[in-house]
Structure 1
Amino acid sequence: MQLLSSQISGFIDKSSWIRKMFESGIALKKQYGADAVCDFSLGNPDVPAPAMVGEILGNLAKDAAAPFTFGYMPNGGFPWARQIIADLVKKEQDVEISADDAILTCGAAGAMNAFFRAVMEPGDEVLAVAPFFVEYGFYASNHQAVFRTVMSEPDTFALDIDAIDAAITPKTRALIINSPNNPTGAVYTKEELTALVAVLEKHTKANNRPVYLISDEPYRFLAFDGVDVPSILPLYDYAIVMSSFSKNLSMAGERVGYIAVTPRMEERQQLINGLMLTNRILGFVNPPVVGQHMLKAALEAQVDPAIYERRRDAMAKVLSDAGYDFHLPKGAFYFFPKAPGGDDVAFCSRLMEEKILAVPGSGFGGPGYFRLTFCVDEEVIQRSADGFKRAISGF
């Protein structure tokens, strides 16, 4: 008896390596105890949310008896919340943007699904730069789009502009970039983005149909060593920024994010109208009430990036001392080292024997590498050192 659609059954078969390793970690911790396992599998921030989050929850509890405290709102979020997002994007992207150019969503995942539902026709193509966050492909398939990838430069993970140019077809409707990048930690330079925009403008003109540039930016706040994270909204007529507050406010479970559209897009009100509709009809109904109040209270008090920088340096030392080949991440909280021996799945299995959880790069479209997240306590990183040395000794 077939209970699930063939598409969903297929998705389950190739579901995220991140979750598989996370679940393996649960089993290891039950067997050996949590203190014996070094879990670098899931990008779930352990740094507590700012204190203001607790304060706003207390205030909301006092207001709970008032009518409509947790009621419906306009599809794109409270007007005051949209203005907050506009002010934030104006500051980060250095563009004049109004509240009418941004909407609140149920996280960046909800933002991407709402966007794809608004602009995709069956058979349209979504192109992503690999290595990439694995769920992009599922989001595209949700809306009958074809998901394709183009590899970044080896080792440095910089944009391969020529490869992107060659990969775009008349059916390409959107290109996704993620900088700072999950899983590589790469940050694309302004020169790279300017060259990318020139390619997109060429194809948009040739096909008389926009190729949207989607910049997924939940790690914008987390760049190291003074590295600049360039803005895309001033660069291109069809640029879209999507983000969430999962990482910078440690609110991954609250699911509040946004979409902002470049003011260069003449038809942007038409697009925003479409997004307002899809934000509702996909079943999200509207972005979470509590999350919007949280970001209002805590936006200026995001988690301290220095915590992650210290962890990055600690992890770099552990890997260097053990002899691993890796590119020091410029942002986000991930390392993406080369897998000794070249087989990333086999090497992650070897790490599990040392009670170390990592994610094979194949799950991100980057075979031959593996991902480590350093949003864990520094003690866990230090404790993993001997295990990393033992794991590499046989390769």
Structure 2
Amino acid sequence: MADNNHPRVVTRAKFSARAAAVAAIPSLRMLNSYLSTSTYGLRRNDPGICDFTLGNPHQMPPEAYVDTLRRNLTPQNDQWFAYKTNGAEARAAAAASLERLLEVPFEPEDIYLTTGGFTAIAMALKAVADPGDEVIYSLPPWFLYEPIITEAGLVPVKVRINPETFDLDLTAITAAITPRTRVVIVNSPNNPTGRIYPPTLLVKLAALLEVASAGNGHRIYLVSDEAYNRIVFDGTRFHSPAEYYPYTLLAYSFGKTHLAPGQRVGYLALPPTMPDRAEMREVLEALQISLGWIYPNALLQYALPELERFSIDVAQLQRRRDRLIEELTAMGYLLHRPEGSFYLFVNSPIPDDVAFTEMLASRDVFVLPGALFETPGFFRISLTANDQMVERSLSGFAAAITESRGG
């Protein structure tokens, strides 16, 4: 019986429902488990393994990158490490680089510097969508879209890509649009497939979104995740949705271009064709502060104009891609030739891709299962493994596919 001097306390959950929903996302739980308690999690620091899991570097950073950071670390005045917002020189360098890449005249004032591409995507979603709105993206996805969407109080809506071409399935996207649709996310070059979406497809996507926006009576925005837009092979010309659809918010990360994901710097960019940019600028500036002062650290802002002048050795990545495709195909693996990004997305020889990745792990070869990308029956290889790992891994790949066939 309740004590009148101590009224009964109505209990509630210890955590917010939204935080609990993020923590319960299967792909996120699987990723955390894979990085901590799996065979890879227990052996990831062993020097003899062949690590094809994450897009982490497995050779020493380029000297040009280190020199750039070293030069800009030296203070030139007493405000060198004071609070930073959107540095003018960094914005101008990023806008000029985008203009060279896409032949679109981006303005420095439309570049919003962030602590990596993660934050740029999160800021874009919060800028244009309210809790309960829907966000469409394609499977297989980068595995952190759903956590970012859920944390913002938005509803993830998933559609499959075309399994034959790895292109967006525009029919599936059209069918998924409802009156609550507010954003469509596009990732090109794609992680994990390596597909670069062609202009013909992007033009059709833009037309589709125009019609759907008119039908819904509100604008559907496109968030273009372009973390790999400088990592392209065979002289392929990259095209951004921002060239064709004015309501595009472009998210970029320098962590891929320099293979330095631990140095968090990126940006969100608005194309010059976007209507109502003045209002959008005010919104993004407010979000940069309210999300926790998400501007990049001073050192990376000072270094950014120089960092825009070089990238990792893409030709070396392409040679690594070609070497693995040649060898794996000869062994009997099935895979598409990626046009960009860091990855090969390979058909698992058996339906249970998690079991097959364990067969590889038992031979010191570590890859990510397709289940992490909500696409069972595949596995992902990161080309950021070094050349020695590639050569050591070939016997393991051969033995695993033989075992999978009962050999």
Q: TM class, shorter-chain normalised?
A: over 0.9
Instruction: Report the Cα distance in structure 2 between the residues aligned to 1:340 and 1:284, rounded to whole angstroms.
Output: 47
1:150 maps to amino acid: V
Whether 2:135 is the aligned partner of 1:97: answer no
Q: Matches of residues 365-384 of structure 1 in structure 2 within 5 Å?
A: 365-384=374-393
Q: Which residue of 2 aligns with 1:212?
A: 221
- The answer on 1:21 being equivalent to 2:30 is no
Which residue number in structure 1 is paired with residue 6 of structure 2? none
Q: CA deviation at 1:279?
A: 1.4
TM superposition shift of 1:259: 0.9
Alignment-mate amino acid for residue 67 of structure 1: D
The reply on whether 1:316 has 2:325 as its aligned counterpart is: yes
Are the equivalent residues in 2 in contact too, given 1:314–1:378 (CA < 8 A)? no
2:74 is the counterpart of 1:62: yes
- Aligned equivalent of 1:176, options 157, 160, 185: 185
Which of 128, 132, 142 does residue 151 from structure 2 map onto? 142
CA, structure 1 residues 344+384, in 2 after alignment: closer, same or farther (shift >3 Å)?
same
Classify 1:55/1:388 alpha carbon distance in 2 versus 1 (closer, same or farther; 3 Å): closer
Segment drifting more, 264-273 vs 131-140: 264-273
Contact 1:339 1:370 in 2 (8 A): yes
Q: In structure 2, what is the Cα distance between the partners aligned to 1:189 and 1:386?
A: 36
Letter in 2 for 1:100: E
Query: How far apart, in 1, do the equivalents of 2:284 and 2:105 lie?
Result: 20
Task: Using the TM superposition, give the Cα deviation of residue 101 of structure 1 relative to its aligned residue in structure 2, in angstroms.
Answer: 1.6
**Separation in 2 of the partners of 1:265 and 1:124?**
21
* Conserved? CA contact 1:56–1:293, under 8 Å: no
Q: What is the CA distance between 1:10 and its match in structure 2?
A: 4.9
CA RMSD across the alignment: 2.0
Structure 2 gaps of 5+ residues are: 1-11
Equivalent residue pairs, number = 389
Any conservation in 2 of the 1:21–1:41 contact (CA below 8 Å)?
A: no
1:202 corresponds to: 211
> Which of the two has higher C-alpha Rg?
2
The structural deviation recorded for 1:256 is 0.6
How far apart, CA to CA, are the structure 1 residues paired with 2:196 and 2:59? Answer: 23
Question: Residue type matched to 1:106 in 2?
Answer: T
- 8 Å CA contact 2:84–2:297 kept in 1: the answer is no
Q: Distance in 2 between matches of 1:286 and 1:91?
A: 24
Match of 1:336 among 338, 345, 369: 345
- TM-score, reference length from structure 1: 0.93
CA–CA distance in structure 2, aligned partners of residues 44 and 18 of structure 1: 15
Instruction: Give the superposition deviation at 1:199.
Output: 0.6
Q: Which runs of 5+ in 1 are unaligned?
A: none
Structure 1 counterpart of 2:195 = 186
Task: Return closer, same or farther for 1:181/1:272 CA change in 2, 3 Å cut-off.
Answer: same
SS in 1 for 2:258: coil
Matches within 5 A, 1:1-395: 4-5=15-16, 7-13=18-24, 14=26, 15=28, 17-23=30-36, 24=38, 25-28=40-43, 33-35=46-48, 37-46=49-58, 48-63=60-75, 66-74=77-85, 77-393=86-402, 394-395=404-405
Equivalent AA in structure 2 for residue 34 of structure 1:
P
Q: Which moved more, 1:176-185 or 1:155-164?
A: 155-164
**In the TM superposition, what is the alpha-carbon distance from 1:60 to its structure 2 partner?**
3.5
Deviations 1:44-102, CA, capped at 9 Å, x for gaps: 133544434333333334317x311011133xx11221111211121122112211222
Letter in 1 for 2:123: A
Structure-2-length-normalised TM-score: 0.90
Aligned sequence identity (%): 33
Deviation at 1:336, TM superposition (A): 0.8
